[in-house]
Structure 1
Amino acid sequence: MKKRLGLLLATGMLSFSMILAGCGNSSKESGANGAGGASGAAETNDEAATEETQKITVWAWDDNFNVAVMKTAAEYYKKLNPDANVEIEVISNSKEDIYKKLQTGLASGGKSLPDICLIEDYSIYQYLNSYSKYFYPLNDDVDYSQFSPYKVEVMTYNDKAYGIPFDAGVTGLFYRADYLEQAGFTAADLEDITWDRFIEIGKQVEEQTGVKMTVANGTNYSSLFRTMMQSAGAWYCDSNGELTITNNEVLKESLETIKKMRDAGIILECADDSTLAGAINDGTTASVINAAWRVSTIKAEPEQSGKWAVASTPRLNNANSVNASNTGGSSWYVLDNGQDKGAIVDFLKAVYAGDIDFYSDILVNQGAVGTYLPAQEGKAYQTEDEFFGGQKVFAEFASWLPEVPSVMYGKNVPESNTAVNTALFSYLQGDITVEEALTQAEDQLKNQIQ
């Protein structure tokens, strides 16, 4: 069910000529310099005309996260610009319905589109590749050097950047410090390690504690192998969007690593994400590799306060791999729907590209780690979290953010996830080799997208 936010900001006096230029109203004599009742009536009519607001419509999903963040942004803009004559309306719907309406609007020539739309990093390329003329570039308005480079790369097409980077899916290794200590390991032993070392530690943790080192969705490993791939700056396709699965050495090592982890018995495989969250909270896993938003799941069990910590993401043996990666994330895109962009751009710049307090607010209240680099100086990022033993958890994630390698996500991420995951399970079961798995995945994907 759609929810609407109508946030009417207090109006300031604008000259009639500005309204004429900005809003396209028809010309009319104001009589502002006259005297008497007729002049007063004219002034009243002109003042009413200047009070006409520009409505900015925003499409987003998830009332507790994305929608809540955009409502907060609207509130901050009101405080920063109390005289701005703007109404910001956030329309909430499911992600699937938003993408369906967006596709329909773009395919029909840019009709019935919002001013701003939330789009996932994994999905934006397919829209820019086919409909870039209906997106509004912001290169002349936004200083993109202030944002994480990998996020800017995602929204750049033909040297034009089309959005405002939003949340990061920067990953970390959340672990139970008490279990690791029981097995003889310190925080330093978990920092900047390889996946091979992670497996070795995992074996010892289970020997000493009886607890599996980590947890995963046993039916879908795509989040894990995507994390591994991006740590080395690789993906399902090359920088031109061409498939590179069969001869992808990074993806090959990623699948081999997952098999080594599984063969070593260090993974607690869960049936779905709900049971995975349960394993985190009931203490049957010693770690989980995920994005910063996993903090809310971990904190759902208050009795575990002080027992958790976070370290950098393990890296592959590949020479290009680093101890930083990403999974998921979205950004805000401006649609070129014919409406004047002045107020829209001003709103996004003022809040998303300039207000550090805003980023601290959404970090505390929604758990949103923004990709605006100056935000890491905000007070929320520097706060010690007692649940994590006094560690400055979000400062850690902020420090890894600039290190995340940029990749070209391409047009077919969901289909690629499915094809590789299907082939992976055949490989894990010993039915095919890893080389055959890669070939099978690419063949399946090509047949599906043709």
Structure 2
Amino acid sequence: MNKMILLSALTLLTTAAAQTSAAPRNLSGTVTVWSWDVAAKALQSTVPGFNKLYPNVKVEVVDLGNQNVYDRGLAGCAAGGADLPDVYSIENNEAEVFWARFPDCFTDLNTLGADKLAGNFPAFKWTELTANNKRYAMPWDSGPVVIFYRRDLYQQAGINPAAIRTWDDFLAAGRKLNTKFGGKVKMATIANGQDDEWFRMLANQNGCFYFNTAATQVTIAQPGCVTALSTIKKLNDAGVLATGDWGGQITNIKASKAASAIYGAWYEGTIRTNAPDQKGKWGVYLMPASRAGGPRAANLGGSALALPASSKNKAAAFAFMGYALGTSQGQVAMLRGEGLVPSLLSATKDPYVAQGQAYWGGQKVWQTILGTLGDVPQARGTQYFQDARQIMIVVQADYLKGKYKTAQEALNDAAKKIGSATGLAVAK
């Protein structure tokens, strides 16, 4: 491969000059990108800006659907890279399945200069994209966790969101809500029995996860995770939460039966598009801490872009990845159009981020949301993420039903089951 072309692509990522008309234009050919749904639309929105720099590169974004991208990626890697695109979209929590099973299927982006870009993104975004000192993908969107809340419902119940600093404050606010609305409006909805996302968010906030960051031990029974599960039980027992799956949560929002939602910031678009008639009624505040003065940041979800080793146009593919993910223009275009939350730290300083958003009552929600990026603890899903998640979904539901006496007992059982399923040692 022409090293000068690769150097030009790297220059796009690392210098301001690469974002002007002086950027190198000597790349050509077609770059095929696999993605899904809103993510595909977001990537498509960056193509016009990229083509101002590289007019001779044709970018084809193909929307295959989330599961199809994953399945075809596994099949392509199993076939030695056959029929894979030039750029491959991958969710962070599924990424390590590929690195573990097919370490040669994707290009080590360090060979193209990605190691020089590490500091441009928060450390937690690289954790699951790096294996054996190789960077297999570049950080894309992230999911900094916040509380989305209905201004009008809070006000009617006499709740001041600025006064909610801990989960105990959140619980107290929920009791006020129950009193005001006779229990017909809940503080939030939890997908208990369907997912363990609340547990993952609160555990991450407390510096704990299924596994340690070295991916060598099961750490789900450690103190931070115990605190997370205990908090969920306390909220559930107080009757301030509704229960519902993904669709049920949206239904509660549309019907004004939930006054809040805790999710990764990508949920902003979910609320805005599903409840357009509630424009101006919503706001955002930081997730509560487990203790006074404790951390109020976590991450849920997020994706990355990888470059298959079988690509015939790596220089152009890397240049596109660099523009879409490594420049404020690319990242903010996706934020504006589809609500994909940037991982690029410099994007937090873009003027758009400081603008009030009409749907959110004029609040500068992106400033609040992106301001937490640097505080998110690292977490490692490993190739066993789905195994651990399925076990924890059952354990959480059983604990909330009273099967276990304490959160520690529940998580000790979860750790034992995860260790058995993965072969990893359980941390003492």
> Aligned-residue CA RMSD in angstroms?
2.5
TM-score, reference length from structure 2: 0.85
Could you tell me which of 57, 70, 73 is aligned with 2:46?
A: 73
Compared CA separation, residues 412 and 97, structure 1 to 2 (3 A): same
In the alignment, what sits opposite 1:417?
A: 389
What does 1:314-393 align with in structure 2 at a 5 Å threshold?
314-317=288-291, 322-337=295-310, 339-354=312-327, 356-393=328-365
Assess, with a 3 A threshold, how the Cα gap between structure 1 residues 52 and 209 changes in structure 2: closer, same or farther.
Answer: closer
Aligned counterpart in structure 1 of residue 147 of structure 2, from 173, 176, 185: 173
Q: After TM superposition, give the deviation of residue 405 of structure 1 in Å.
A: 1.1
Is 1:266 paired with 2:235? no
Match of 1:102 among 60, 66, 73: 73
Post-superposition shift, 1:90? Answer: 2.3
Residue type of the alignment partner of 1:250: G
Is the 2:89–2:303 contact (alpha carbons within 8 Å) kept by the matching residues of 1? Answer: yes
Does the Cα contact within 8 Å between 2:218 and 2:418 map onto a contact in 1? no
Equivalent residue number for residue 39 of structure 1: none
Contact between 1:419 and 1:442, CA under 8 Å: does it hold in 2? no
Query: In structure 1, what residue type is equivalent to 2:400?
Result: L
Match of 1:436 among 406, 409, 417: 409
Structure 1 residue 447 displacement after superposition? 4.6
Q: Does 1:232 align with 2:203?
A: no
CA contact (8 A) 2:163 2:169 kept: no
Q: CA deviation at 1:448?
A: 4.2
Q: Indicate yes or no: 2:125 matched with 1:151.
A: yes
Question: Contact conserved, 2:84 with 2:311, CA < 8 A, in 1?
Answer: no
Using the TM superposition, give the Cα deviation of residue 98 of structure 1 relative to its aligned residue in structure 2, in angstroms.
2.1
3-state DSSP of counterpart to 2:193: coil
Match for residue 191 of structure 2 among 217, 220, 229: 217
Q: Shift in Å at residue 81 of structure 1?
A: 2.1
1:90 and 1:302 mapped to 2: Cα distance? 28
- Residue 333 of structure 1: CA displacement? 0.6
Q: CA deviation at 1:219?
A: 2.8
Pick from 113, 116, 130 the counterpart of residue 84 of structure 2: 113
Change (3 A) 1:80 1:423: same
Distance of 1:225 and 1:88 partners within structure 2:
39
C-alpha displacement of 1:54:
2.6
What residue is the counterpart of 1:256 in the other structure?
Answer: 230
Match of 2:271 among 298, 305, 328: 298
Larger Rg: 1
Q: Which residue of 2 aligns with 1:135?
A: 106
**Equivalent runs, 1:75-94 vs 2, <5 Å:** 75-82=48-55, 84=56, 86-94=57-65
Distance 1:176 1:108, change over 3 A: same
State the identity as a percent: 27
AA matched with 2:373: L
Q: What is the CA distance between 1:446 and its match in structure 2?
A: 4.3
Could you tell me how far 1:248 is from its partner in structure 2?
2.1
Residues in 2 aligned to 1:423 and 1:187: alpha-carbon distance in whole angstroms:
32
Q: 1:302 to 1:104 in 2, by over 3 A?
A: closer
1:202 aligns with 2:154: no
Once residues 389 and 76 of structure 1 are traced to their aligned partners in structure 2, the CA distance between those partners, rounded to angstroms, is 30
Name the amino acid aligned to 2:280.
G
SS at match of 1:227: helix
> How many Å apart are 1:340 and its aligned residue?
4.7
Change (3 A) 1:447 1:81: same
Following the alignment from structure 2 to structure 1, what is the Cα–Cα distance between the partners of residues 144 and 39? 17
Q: Secondary structure at the match of 1:134?
A: coil
Query: Does residue 59 in structure 1 map to residue 34 in structure 2?
Result: yes
1:282-293 maps to which residues of 2 (within 5 A)? 282-293=255-266
TM-superposed deviation, 1:449: 4.6
Instruction: Tell me, in whole angstroms, the C-alpha distance in 2 between the residues paired with 1:52 and 1:353.
Output: 18
Measure, in 1, the Cα distance between the counterparts of 2:367 and 2:386: 31
Unaligned runs of 5+ in 2: 6-25, 424-428
Alignment correspondent of 1:427:
399
For residue 266 of structure 2, give the secondary structure of its aligned residue in structure 1: helix
Aligned-partner Cα distance in 2 for 1:53–1:80 = 11
Classify the secondary structure of the residue corresponding to 2:59.
strand
> SS of 1:166's equivalent?
strand
Kept after mapping to 2: 8 A contact 1:245/1:441: no
Rounded Cα–Cα distance in structure 2 between residues aligned with 1:239 and 1:302: 40
Q: Distance in 1 between matches of 2:217 and 2:400?
A: 23
Residue equivalent to 2:250? 277
How far apart are the structure 2 equivalents of 1:361 and 1:151? Answer: 20
Moved more, 395-404 or 72-81: 72-81
Q: Secondary structure at the match of 1:168?
A: strand
Aligned to 1:401: 373
